[in-house]
Amino acid sequence: MNGTPKARRILIVTRNLPPLVGGMERLNWHMGQELAKKGEVCFVAPSGTAAKAPPEVRVHEVALNPLPRFLLAVQWSAWRIARTWKPDIVIAGSGLTAPAAWMAAHSCGAMSAAYVHGLDMAVRHPLYRALWLPTLRRMDRIIANSRATRELALEADVSQTRIRIVHPGVDIAAHSPEPSLIKDFREKHARGAGPVLLSVGRLTRRKGLREFVTHVLPRIVAEHPETVLLVIGDAPDRALHAEAQTRESIQAAAEAAGIGEHIHFLGVITDRERLTVAYRAADVHVFPVQQIPGDPEGFGMVAIEAAAEGLPTVAYATGGIMDAVAEKQSGYLVPAGDSQKFAEAVLAVLDAPAMRASSAEFAKQFAWPEFGMSLHSALESNEKTA
Protein backbone atom coordinates (compact mmCIF):
# COMPACT_ATOMS: atom_id res chain seq x y z
CA MET A 1 0.00 0.00 0.00
CA ASN A 2 1.34 3.44 -0.95
CA GLY A 3 2.11 5.49 2.15
CA THR A 4 2.35 8.81 0.29
CA PRO A 5 -0.11 11.29 1.83
CA LYS A 6 -2.94 12.44 -0.40
CA ALA A 7 -2.32 15.84 -1.99
CA ARG A 8 -4.63 18.49 -0.61
CA ARG A 9 -7.24 20.01 -2.85
CA ILE A 10 -7.41 23.79 -2.58
CA LEU A 11 -10.12 26.00 -4.06
CA ILE A 12 -9.26 29.71 -4.39
CA VAL A 13 -12.14 32.12 -4.94
CA THR A 14 -11.14 35.60 -6.08
CA ARG A 15 -11.91 38.62 -8.22
CA ASN A 16 -8.26 39.68 -8.30
CA LEU A 17 -6.78 37.89 -11.28
CA PRO A 18 -6.34 38.85 -14.95
CA PRO A 19 -7.83 40.64 -16.79
CA LEU A 20 -7.41 42.93 -13.75
CA VAL A 21 -3.83 44.10 -13.26
CA GLY A 22 -2.05 45.04 -10.04
CA GLY A 23 -0.31 43.86 -6.91
CA MET A 24 -3.26 41.86 -5.57
CA GLU A 25 -3.59 40.11 -8.91
CA ARG A 26 0.09 39.10 -8.89
CA LEU A 27 -0.25 37.90 -5.32
CA ASN A 28 -3.24 35.65 -6.03
CA TRP A 29 -1.49 34.26 -9.10
CA HIS A 30 1.55 33.29 -7.07
CA MET A 31 -0.65 31.98 -4.28
CA GLY A 32 -2.05 29.45 -6.71
CA GLN A 33 1.37 28.54 -8.09
CA GLU A 34 2.94 28.06 -4.67
CA LEU A 35 0.04 26.04 -3.26
CA ALA A 36 0.07 23.86 -6.39
CA LYS A 37 3.57 22.67 -5.44
CA LYS A 38 2.01 20.56 -2.70
CA GLY A 39 -1.55 20.08 -3.81
CA GLU A 40 -4.22 20.44 -6.47
CA VAL A 41 -5.44 23.99 -7.03
CA CYS A 42 -8.58 25.28 -8.71
CA PHE A 43 -9.49 28.95 -9.12
CA VAL A 44 -12.94 30.47 -9.39
CA ALA A 45 -11.97 33.69 -11.10
CA PRO A 46 -12.98 36.31 -13.70
CA SER A 47 -13.42 35.55 -17.38
CA GLY A 48 -10.07 35.94 -19.13
CA THR A 49 -8.04 34.25 -16.39
CA ALA A 50 -7.80 30.80 -17.99
CA ALA A 51 -6.02 32.08 -21.10
CA LYS A 52 -3.00 33.05 -19.01
CA ALA A 53 -3.24 30.36 -16.37
CA PRO A 54 -0.16 28.24 -15.62
CA PRO A 55 -0.61 24.54 -16.41
CA GLU A 56 -0.48 23.50 -12.75
CA VAL A 57 -3.81 25.13 -11.83
CA ARG A 58 -7.38 24.76 -13.04
CA VAL A 59 -9.65 27.74 -13.61
CA HIS A 60 -13.43 28.07 -13.58
CA GLU A 61 -14.40 31.45 -15.01
CA VAL A 62 -17.32 33.76 -14.24
CA ALA A 63 -18.15 37.12 -15.83
CA LEU A 64 -16.33 40.01 -14.13
CA ASN A 65 -19.02 42.66 -14.51
CA PRO A 66 -21.31 43.90 -13.14
CA LEU A 67 -20.06 43.34 -9.61
CA PRO A 68 -23.35 42.10 -8.05
CA ARG A 69 -23.70 39.49 -10.79
CA PHE A 70 -20.06 38.46 -10.33
CA LEU A 71 -20.59 37.94 -6.60
CA LEU A 72 -23.69 35.81 -7.18
CA ALA A 73 -22.01 33.79 -9.93
CA VAL A 74 -18.84 33.20 -7.94
CA GLN A 75 -20.87 32.07 -4.94
CA TRP A 76 -22.87 29.59 -7.00
CA SER A 77 -19.79 28.28 -8.83
CA ALA A 78 -17.71 27.90 -5.67
CA TRP A 79 -20.53 26.06 -3.91
CA ARG A 80 -21.10 23.71 -6.87
CA ILE A 81 -17.38 22.92 -7.24
CA ALA A 82 -17.04 22.36 -3.50
CA ARG A 83 -19.93 19.87 -3.51
CA THR A 84 -18.48 17.82 -6.36
CA TRP A 85 -14.69 18.27 -6.13
CA LYS A 86 -14.54 18.15 -2.30
CA PRO A 87 -11.63 20.53 -1.60
CA ASP A 88 -9.78 20.32 1.70
CA ILE A 89 -9.32 24.09 1.92
CA VAL A 90 -11.28 26.97 0.39
CA ILE A 91 -9.48 30.33 0.29
CA ALA A 92 -10.89 33.78 -0.46
CA GLY A 93 -8.28 35.81 -2.35
CA SER A 94 -9.53 38.92 -0.54
CA GLY A 95 -12.30 39.92 1.82
CA LEU A 96 -14.65 40.54 -1.11
CA THR A 97 -15.08 36.83 -1.86
CA ALA A 98 -15.05 35.67 1.77
CA PRO A 99 -18.81 34.88 1.89
CA ALA A 100 -18.57 32.70 -1.21
CA ALA A 101 -15.48 30.93 0.12
CA TRP A 102 -17.01 30.36 3.56
CA MET A 103 -20.25 28.95 2.16
CA ALA A 104 -18.35 26.65 -0.21
CA ALA A 105 -16.14 25.39 2.62
CA HIS A 106 -19.11 24.94 4.95
CA SER A 107 -20.95 22.88 2.30
CA CYS A 108 -18.23 20.21 2.12
CA GLY A 109 -16.59 20.36 5.53
CA ALA A 110 -13.44 22.06 4.26
CA MET A 111 -11.20 24.48 6.12
CA SER A 112 -12.09 28.11 5.30
CA ALA A 113 -9.49 30.85 4.93
CA ALA A 114 -9.18 34.39 3.60
CA TYR A 115 -6.10 36.35 2.60
CA VAL A 116 -6.92 39.88 3.70
CA HIS A 117 -5.51 43.32 2.96
CA GLY A 118 -5.94 46.44 5.07
CA LEU A 119 -9.00 47.70 3.25
CA ASP A 120 -10.74 44.32 3.68
CA MET A 121 -10.89 44.97 7.40
CA ALA A 122 -11.41 48.75 7.32
CA VAL A 123 -14.14 49.35 4.72
CA ARG A 124 -16.86 51.48 6.27
CA HIS A 125 -19.70 50.63 3.91
CA PRO A 126 -22.58 49.54 6.18
CA LEU A 127 -23.58 46.57 4.00
CA TYR A 128 -20.00 45.26 3.94
CA ARG A 129 -19.68 45.64 7.70
CA ALA A 130 -23.05 43.95 8.26
CA LEU A 131 -22.49 40.94 5.96
CA TRP A 132 -18.81 40.57 5.09
CA LEU A 133 -17.14 41.21 8.45
CA PRO A 134 -19.22 38.59 10.31
CA THR A 135 -18.18 36.07 7.65
CA LEU A 136 -14.51 36.95 8.11
CA ARG A 137 -14.90 36.42 11.85
CA ARG A 138 -16.21 32.89 11.19
CA MET A 139 -13.29 31.90 8.95
CA ASP A 140 -11.04 29.14 10.30
CA ARG A 141 -8.01 31.14 9.21
CA ILE A 142 -7.43 34.82 8.46
CA ILE A 143 -4.12 35.42 6.69
CA ALA A 144 -3.12 39.08 7.08
CA ASN A 145 -0.66 40.68 4.67
CA SER A 146 1.04 42.78 7.39
CA ARG A 147 1.16 43.57 11.08
CA ALA A 148 -1.03 46.61 10.44
CA THR A 149 -3.70 44.46 8.78
CA ARG A 150 -3.52 42.03 11.69
CA GLU A 151 -4.29 44.92 14.05
CA LEU A 152 -7.25 45.95 11.90
CA ALA A 153 -8.52 42.35 12.00
CA LEU A 154 -8.27 42.34 15.79
CA GLU A 155 -10.16 45.65 15.93
CA ALA A 156 -12.85 43.99 13.80
CA ASP A 157 -13.17 41.28 16.50
CA VAL A 158 -11.44 38.48 14.62
CA SER A 159 -10.03 36.04 17.15
CA GLN A 160 -6.25 36.36 17.40
CA THR A 161 -5.94 32.56 17.40
CA ARG A 162 -7.24 32.49 13.83
CA ILE A 163 -4.86 35.12 12.43
CA ARG A 164 -1.53 34.50 10.72
CA ILE A 165 0.72 37.04 8.98
CA VAL A 166 2.07 36.16 5.53
CA HIS A 167 3.73 39.03 3.70
CA PRO A 168 3.27 39.21 -0.09
CA GLY A 169 6.18 38.03 -2.22
CA VAL A 170 8.31 39.36 -5.02
CA ASP A 171 10.23 38.12 -8.06
CA ILE A 172 13.97 38.00 -7.47
CA ALA A 173 15.62 38.46 -10.85
CA ALA A 174 18.48 36.12 -11.71
CA HIS A 175 19.95 38.53 -14.25
CA SER A 176 20.21 42.31 -14.64
CA PRO A 177 18.97 44.12 -17.77
CA GLU A 178 21.55 45.15 -20.33
CA PRO A 179 23.17 48.46 -19.27
CA SER A 180 22.29 49.88 -22.67
CA LEU A 181 18.59 49.43 -21.94
CA ILE A 182 18.91 51.39 -18.70
CA LYS A 183 20.93 54.10 -20.43
CA ASP A 184 18.36 54.38 -23.24
CA PHE A 185 15.50 54.59 -20.73
CA ARG A 186 17.13 57.47 -18.85
CA GLU A 187 17.95 59.32 -22.06
CA LYS A 188 14.41 58.93 -23.37
CA HIS A 189 12.45 59.76 -20.22
CA ALA A 190 14.74 61.64 -17.83
CA ARG A 191 16.26 63.92 -20.49
CA GLY A 192 19.29 64.78 -18.42
CA ALA A 193 21.83 63.60 -15.90
CA GLY A 194 19.88 64.63 -12.81
CA PRO A 195 18.23 62.40 -10.20
CA VAL A 196 15.33 60.19 -11.36
CA LEU A 197 12.50 59.67 -8.90
CA LEU A 198 10.00 56.91 -9.66
CA SER A 199 6.38 56.42 -8.61
CA VAL A 200 4.67 53.13 -9.50
CA GLY A 201 1.00 52.37 -8.87
CA ARG A 202 -2.57 53.42 -9.36
CA LEU A 203 -3.26 57.13 -9.16
CA THR A 204 -5.55 57.30 -6.17
CA ARG A 205 -6.05 59.75 -3.33
CA ARG A 206 -4.41 57.33 -0.90
CA LYS A 207 -1.20 57.14 -2.97
CA GLY A 208 -0.74 60.88 -2.42
CA LEU A 209 1.03 61.86 -5.63
CA ARG A 210 -0.75 65.21 -5.96
CA GLU A 211 0.32 66.17 -2.46
CA PHE A 212 3.86 64.99 -3.22
CA VAL A 213 4.28 67.23 -6.26
CA THR A 214 2.81 70.15 -4.32
CA HIS A 215 4.76 69.91 -1.08
CA VAL A 216 7.79 67.63 -1.56
CA LEU A 217 9.04 67.69 -5.14
CA PRO A 218 9.68 71.47 -5.18
CA ARG A 219 12.06 71.08 -2.21
CA ILE A 220 14.01 68.36 -4.03
CA VAL A 221 14.14 70.33 -7.29
CA ALA A 222 15.50 73.31 -5.35
CA GLU A 223 18.50 71.16 -4.34
CA HIS A 224 18.82 69.25 -7.63
CA PRO A 225 17.33 71.37 -10.46
CA GLU A 226 17.57 68.52 -13.01
CA THR A 227 15.41 66.14 -10.94
CA VAL A 228 12.67 64.30 -12.86
CA LEU A 229 9.72 62.39 -11.42
CA LEU A 230 8.57 59.50 -13.63
CA VAL A 231 5.07 58.17 -12.95
CA ILE A 232 4.10 54.64 -13.96
CA GLY A 233 0.39 53.94 -13.54
CA ASP A 234 -2.95 55.56 -14.16
CA ALA A 235 -6.24 56.31 -12.45
CA PRO A 236 -8.14 53.07 -11.68
CA ASP A 237 -11.18 52.26 -13.76
CA ARG A 238 -12.31 48.99 -12.14
CA ALA A 239 -10.81 49.11 -8.66
CA LEU A 240 -13.21 49.08 -5.73
CA HIS A 241 -13.23 51.82 -3.06
CA ALA A 242 -10.50 53.82 -4.87
CA GLU A 243 -10.86 57.59 -5.17
CA ALA A 244 -8.84 58.59 -8.23
CA GLN A 245 -6.34 61.37 -8.73
CA THR A 246 -6.21 62.05 -12.46
CA ARG A 247 -3.07 62.81 -14.45
CA GLU A 248 -4.55 66.21 -15.21
CA SER A 249 -5.05 67.09 -11.54
CA ILE A 250 -1.53 65.96 -10.63
CA GLN A 251 0.00 67.85 -13.55
CA ALA A 252 -2.01 70.95 -12.62
CA ALA A 253 -0.66 70.71 -9.06
CA ALA A 254 2.88 70.45 -10.44
CA GLU A 255 2.33 73.48 -12.68
CA ALA A 256 0.96 75.48 -9.76
CA ALA A 257 4.06 74.56 -7.73
CA GLY A 258 6.33 75.71 -10.57
CA ILE A 259 7.79 72.26 -11.33
CA GLY A 260 5.47 71.14 -14.14
CA GLU A 261 8.33 70.26 -16.47
CA HIS A 262 9.85 67.94 -13.85
CA ILE A 263 7.09 65.30 -14.00
CA HIS A 264 6.47 62.80 -16.82
CA PHE A 265 3.69 60.22 -17.02
CA LEU A 266 4.59 56.89 -18.65
CA GLY A 267 1.19 55.24 -18.31
CA VAL A 268 0.62 51.65 -17.23
CA ILE A 269 3.53 49.26 -17.79
CA THR A 270 2.69 45.58 -17.34
CA ASP A 271 5.71 44.11 -19.14
CA ARG A 272 8.02 42.91 -16.38
CA GLU A 273 11.21 43.55 -18.36
CA ARG A 274 10.28 47.16 -19.06
CA LEU A 275 9.29 47.66 -15.42
CA THR A 276 12.60 46.18 -14.27
CA VAL A 277 14.46 48.62 -16.52
CA ALA A 278 12.49 51.50 -15.00
CA TYR A 279 13.38 50.42 -11.47
CA ARG A 280 17.05 50.01 -12.38
CA ALA A 281 17.16 53.38 -14.15
CA ALA A 282 15.70 55.32 -11.20
CA ASP A 283 17.56 56.63 -8.14
CA VAL A 284 14.74 56.68 -5.59
CA HIS A 285 11.28 55.13 -5.41
CA VAL A 286 8.87 57.59 -3.76
CA PHE A 287 5.82 56.21 -1.95
CA PRO A 288 3.99 59.18 -0.37
CA VAL A 289 0.93 57.26 0.83
CA GLN A 290 -1.54 59.37 2.78
CA GLN A 291 -2.85 58.32 6.18
CA ILE A 292 -6.60 58.31 5.49
CA PRO A 293 -9.09 56.92 8.05
CA GLY A 294 -10.96 53.99 6.57
CA ASP A 295 -8.58 53.65 3.62
CA PRO A 296 -5.32 52.08 4.89
CA GLU A 297 -2.34 50.88 2.88
CA GLY A 298 -2.31 47.20 3.79
CA PHE A 299 1.29 46.45 2.85
CA GLY A 300 3.01 48.28 0.00
CA MET A 301 4.14 45.58 -2.40
CA VAL A 302 5.67 48.13 -4.77
CA ALA A 303 8.29 48.98 -2.14
CA ILE A 304 9.40 45.34 -2.07
CA GLU A 305 9.40 45.18 -5.88
CA ALA A 306 11.60 48.27 -5.99
CA ALA A 307 13.95 46.83 -3.35
CA ALA A 308 14.28 43.59 -5.32
CA GLU A 309 15.68 45.67 -8.18
CA GLY A 310 18.05 47.52 -5.86
CA LEU A 311 15.95 50.67 -5.68
CA PRO A 312 15.49 52.23 -2.21
CA THR A 313 12.11 53.63 -1.16
CA VAL A 314 11.18 56.73 0.78
CA ALA A 315 7.68 56.46 2.26
CA TYR A 316 5.46 57.85 4.95
CA ALA A 317 5.31 55.52 7.97
CA THR A 318 1.70 54.43 7.74
CA GLY A 319 -0.16 51.13 7.62
CA GLY A 320 1.60 48.04 6.33
CA ILE A 321 4.31 50.07 4.62
CA MET A 322 6.24 49.77 7.86
CA ASP A 323 6.65 46.04 7.09
CA ALA A 324 7.75 46.75 3.51
CA VAL A 325 10.58 49.25 4.09
CA ALA A 326 13.59 48.57 6.32
CA GLU A 327 14.84 51.82 7.81
CA LYS A 328 18.31 52.74 6.51
CA GLN A 329 18.53 49.39 4.68
CA SER A 330 15.94 49.57 1.90
CA GLY A 331 15.09 53.25 2.35
CA TYR A 332 13.55 55.58 4.89
CA LEU A 333 10.23 55.87 6.71
CA VAL A 334 9.23 59.40 7.69
CA PRO A 335 6.39 60.66 9.89
CA ALA A 336 3.08 60.66 8.06
CA GLY A 337 2.45 63.95 6.28
CA ASP A 338 5.85 65.51 7.07
CA SER A 339 6.82 66.82 3.63
CA GLN A 340 10.06 68.42 4.87
CA LYS A 341 11.29 65.12 6.33
CA PHE A 342 10.24 63.31 3.15
CA ALA A 343 12.33 65.63 0.97
CA GLU A 344 15.29 65.28 3.33
CA ALA A 345 15.03 61.49 3.18
CA VAL A 346 15.00 61.50 -0.64
CA LEU A 347 18.12 63.67 -0.64
CA ALA A 348 19.74 61.28 1.85
CA VAL A 349 19.11 58.31 -0.45
CA LEU A 350 20.64 60.22 -3.36
CA ASP A 351 23.79 60.53 -1.24
CA ALA A 352 23.85 56.83 -0.29
CA PRO A 353 24.53 54.68 -3.39
CA ALA A 354 25.40 51.67 -1.20
CA MET A 355 21.72 51.44 -0.25
CA ARG A 356 21.00 49.81 -3.64
CA ALA A 357 22.83 46.66 -2.54
CA SER A 358 21.29 46.58 0.93
CA SER A 359 17.82 47.05 -0.59
CA ALA A 360 18.28 44.02 -2.82
CA GLU A 361 19.48 41.97 0.16
CA PHE A 362 16.43 42.98 2.21
CA ALA A 363 14.06 41.89 -0.57
CA LYS A 364 15.34 38.30 -0.63
CA GLN A 365 13.27 37.35 2.40
CA PHE A 366 10.14 38.15 0.35
CA ALA A 367 10.93 35.85 -2.59
CA TRP A 368 7.85 33.97 -3.79
CA PRO A 369 9.16 30.58 -2.59
CA GLU A 370 9.49 32.11 0.90
CA PHE A 371 5.91 33.39 0.58
CA GLY A 372 4.82 29.87 -0.41
CA MET A 373 6.44 28.25 2.61
CA SER A 374 4.84 30.80 4.95
CA LEU A 375 1.46 30.26 3.31
CA HIS A 376 1.70 26.48 3.63
CA SER A 377 2.62 26.92 7.28
CA ALA A 378 -0.36 29.22 7.89
CA LEU A 379 -2.67 26.59 6.40
CA GLU A 380 -0.88 23.65 7.95
CA SER A 381 -3.51 22.83 10.54
CA ASN A 382 -6.72 21.44 9.11
CA GLU A 383 -8.38 21.67 12.49
CA LYS A 384 -11.56 23.67 12.04
CA THR A 385 -12.33 26.26 14.68
CA ALA A 386 -15.61 26.15 16.56
pLDDT in tens, 240-297: 445 678 899 999 999 999 999 999 999 988 888 999 999 999 999 999 999 888 788 8
pLDDT in tens, 186-214: 999 987 789 999 999 888 888 999 999 99
Point out the residues of the chain with pLDDT beneath 70.
1-6, 236-243, 381-386
pLDDT at res. 240: 47
pLDDT at res. 239: 47
Tally of CA atoms within 13 A in the half-sphere of 376 that contains its CB: 17
Tell me the β-bridge partners of 285: 198, 313
Going from the N-terminus, what domains does the chain have, and what CATH number goes with each? 8-169+367-378 (3.40.50.2000), 179-366 (3.40.50.2000)
